[in-house]
Amino acid sequence: MASLCLIVPLLIFAARIIKSSPVLDALFFQRLPILAILFFSAVGVAGYGRLKGLRERWLHDLVETSSEQLAARDEKERSTALYSTITVLSGLTLFL
């Protein structure tokens, strides 16, 4: 409760300062939706990885586990992770 009492007025104060400057306003408020989407996507991905052990079944395995160990895993799951990763990353290189 004490934290809230401190944080909320601070946020309002910061927002007022930013709004008073056209430069800061344009930099932050007009870009807020994109920043928010990016932030929550990242948090969401991280959170999902923690929840469901995504890393154990997905990319982390492809990076860390030896080929022999990997081959022993479920073929379909392994292939999906492997080939979708190659496709997306190759797409990213062309996009960049």
Count the site residues for another protein by CB under 8 A.
Answer: 42
Q: Does 22 bind another protein (CB under 8 A)?
A: yes
Q: Does 45 bind another protein (CB under 8 A)?
A: yes
- Using CB under 8 A, which of 12, 42, 77, 80 touches another protein? 42
Q: Give every CB contact of residue 57 below 8 A, 6+ residues apart in sequence.
A: 77, 81
- Using CB under 8 A, which of 11, 15, 19, 41 touches another protein? 41
53: left (phi over 0), alpha (psi -120 to 50) or beta: left
